[in-house]
Structure 1
Amino acid sequence: MKEYSVKLSILKTLSQGGFHSGEELGDKLGISRAAISKHIKGIQGWGVDVFSVQGKGYQLAKPIQLLDQGVLQNNLANNVELIPIIDSTNQYLLDRVDSLESGSVCLAEYQAKGRGRRGREWVSPFGSNLYLSMFWRLDAGIAAALGLSLVVGVAIVEALEDMGLTSVKLKWPNDLYYQDKKLAGILVEMSGQAGAAANIVIGMGLNLMMSEATQGITQPWASLFEVAKNQEIDRNQLAITMITTLHRTLDEYERYGMSGFVEKWNRLDNFINRPVTLLIGSKEITGIARGINEQGAVLLETENGLESYIGGEISLRSRQ
C-alpha cells in the first residue's frame, strides 16, 4: 500500500476537480515535478484519463468519486476493508477465510489481477467501476451452494431497482445485462470439505462509468451510467446498497434455498423466450430459453422437448 500512497494522494487532489500544477502537487507531497510526472504516468497505467496543459497543470478528463472507508463502515454492520490497489478482491478474502467473520467485505478501486469466470481476466480500471467481494460461511456445505450465483444476480438487480435503476436483466448463470450488453459479472469461489461448512467468496465487478477507450474487453459492454440516463451515481451509496442487499439475500438463501428465487430470476431473464445457443465445451445446443428450475439449471426448449442443463454458457450469439 505504501508504494501507492503518492499516486493515491495525487488522485485524491485531482478528484477535487480543476487543474493542479506539478509544482503545487510536488510541494504538497514533498517531491519534485519530475517525480509527479512519473507518478502521473503510473496513474494513467491504471486506466485513469489524466491530461496536462502547459501552464495549467494536470486535470482528470472526467470526475472520480473515490470510495470512502469511513462512510462505508459507518453505514454497514459488515466488516469492510477498502484496499485501493489490489491484485484481486476475491483472492484477498480466499487467503483469509479462516480468520474472517461471515459477511466480511473487501472493496478496491483497482484490481491488477481481477478475474472472471473460467479464469478469464476482469479488466478493472481505477475508480471507474465497483469491485466488491463478500465472504460467507455456508453452514449447509458446498452442495447447498448450487445456484448461488443466480441468487446473487437477483440480489444485485433488486438492489439497483431499489435505487431507481431499472431495465437491468440477468444472463444465466452469472452476468447482468443492459440492452443485450454485459453490465456486471459475478464470480463465486468456494472451499471446504464434505460434511463441513463451506467457505464462499462472492465477487462482483459492476461497470459504472468506464471509458469507451478501455482496452482488453472483447465483448459489448454497458455501464450503469447508461442505465441511470447519464445521472450521477454515488459510488459509496451504491456499494452500501449492494452489500446490504447481498447480505440480506444470503440470509434468505440459507433459510429457504432456491425456492422463491426461481420466479424472481425468470422475471429478470434477459434471454427468456428467445432463441439461444448453449455452449458446453465444444458442444452446441440450440433452443428457446425458458428460464431456470429450482435446481438453478437453465431450461431450453429443443427439438427433443424441454431440457435442463447445469453446466455450460449461453452464447451471446442468439440464433434466429
Structure 2
Amino acid sequence: MDRSDYEALDAGAVLAALDGFAGAFSLVLLKECDSTNSRLLAELPPDDGRVHVLAADVQTSGRGRRGRAWKSWPGASLTFSALWRFAPDAPVPAGLSLVAGLAVARALEELGVEGVQLKWPNDVLVHGRKLAGILVELTPGRGRVPAAVVGIGINLQLPPDADVEYATGVTDLAACLGQAPDASRLLGLVLVQLHRLFEVYAAAGFSALRGAWQQRNAFANLPVNILGEAEALAGTCAGVDDDGALLLQTPGGLRRVLSGEVSLRLA
C-alpha cells in the first residue's frame, strides 16, 4: 500500500491531546522506523523524569509477542513505544501488559468505540476481532531503576489487501467509527490513560485495576485452550489474579497461568 496522502503524526496535535500531561512526556516522531521498541531499548534515553515516547508513521520491522511480526502500512496504524521508569519497589513486571491494554481500551472508549474487550495478556479486541496489540519488554542490566518499554500498535484503517491473520478476525477504527480518527490525537489520549493507570499501578499494583480489566475480559467464563511453552491446558477462563496471572478452572481445580497464548476452544 503506497499512500502519499496519509496524515503524518504531528507533535503539536499530540501535545494538545495530552493537555495537562504534556510536560510529563518527551516525544520523538519519525516518518519511518524499523521497530520503535528495538530503537528505545538500544538507545535508552537519559532519566530526566519524563516518559520518553518514540512513534513512527511506519514500522518496517515491527514486533509482537513470541517473535511475531507487526505489519504496518502508511496511514494504516498508530505504532509507538514508551519508556516507563518505576520506583525500585514498584511491582514490575507483574500485570504490566494488562494495565497497558486497559489504558488503550479506555482511550478507545473515550473516542466512542463500542464493544472493546481485552484478551489476556496483550490484545485489545472489538466484538472479538483484534484491533490492537501490546509488547512489553523490560530494560536489560542490573542495578538500574526498574523500567519497561511498552510498545503499542492500533489498527487505524487497514488496506483492503492487508495480509493480517488472527484466529477470530481483525478490525480497524475506520470500521468501528465510520472513519479513522486522527492518529496524533489518539496517541495523546492513549498516553494520558497510560500515565493515569501506571501511576495507580506503581502505587498499588495490578490488584487496584483488576476489576476494571475483568469487566472487559473477552473470554470471561468461556472454554479456552492455553498454548504455552510447557503443557497445553484446557478449561474455563475464570478471569485474572491480583498479579495479572490468568485463572483457569480445570477439572483438576483452579490453575494459574503466567504466560501463554489464549484461544477459544472449538465446540
The TM-score with structure 2 as length reference comes to 0.90
Which structure has the bigger radius of gyration? 1
Structure 2: segments with no counterpart, 5+ residues: none
Please state if 1:118 is matched with 2:66: yes
Work out which structure has the larger RCO, using CA pairs closer than 8 Å and 6 or more positions apart in sequence.
Answer: 2
User: Would you say how many aligned residue pairs link Structure 1 and Structure 2?
Assistant: 259
Is residue 141–residue 194 contact of structure 1 (8 Å, CA) maintained in 2? no
- Shift of residue 221, structure 1, vs aligned partner: 1.0
Aligned CA RMSD, in angstroms, stands at: 1.9
* Pair 213,282 (structure 1): closer, same or farther in 2 beyond 3 Å: farther
Percentage of identical aligned residues: 34
Match of 1:182 among 126, 130, 133: 130
1:134 aligns with 2:62: no
Letter of the structure 2 residue corresponding to residue 152 of structure 1: A
Which one has the bigger helix percentage? 1
Secondary structure of the residue aligned to 1:281 is: coil
What's the offset of the Cα at 1:212? 2.6
Report which of the two has the higher share of strand. 2
Q: 1:48 aligns to what?
A: 2
Residue aligning to 2:185: 237
- Other structure's SS at 2:121 match: coil
CA distance in 1, matches of 2:144, 2:93: 13
Give 1:210 shift. 0.9
For 1:288 and 1:145, how far apart are their aligned partners in 2? 25
- Indicate the residue corresponding to 2:33 in structure 1: 86
Q: Aligned partners of 1:297 and 1:122: how far apart in 2?
A: 25
Out of 145, 152, 155, which is 2:100 matched to? 152
Render the CA deviation track for 1:42-84: whole Å, top value 9, x for unaligned: xxxxx335xxxxxxxxxx7xx6332112322454221111011
Match of 1:225 among 149, 157, 174: 174
Q: TM-score, normalised on structure 1?
A: 0.76
Q: Which runs of 4+ in 1 moved over 3 A?
A: 192-196
2:80/2:151 contact within 8 Å kept: yes
Aligned to 1:67: 9
1:53 aligned residue: none
Report deviation, 1:143: 5.7
Amino acid of the residue matched to residue 2 of structure 2? V
Q: CA deviation at 1:213?
A: 0.5
CA contact (8 A) 1:72 1:240 kept: yes
The DSSP-based 3-state class of the residue aligned with 1:214 is coil
**Match for residue 204 of structure 1?**
152
In structure 1, distance between residues paired with 2:81 and 2:57: 12
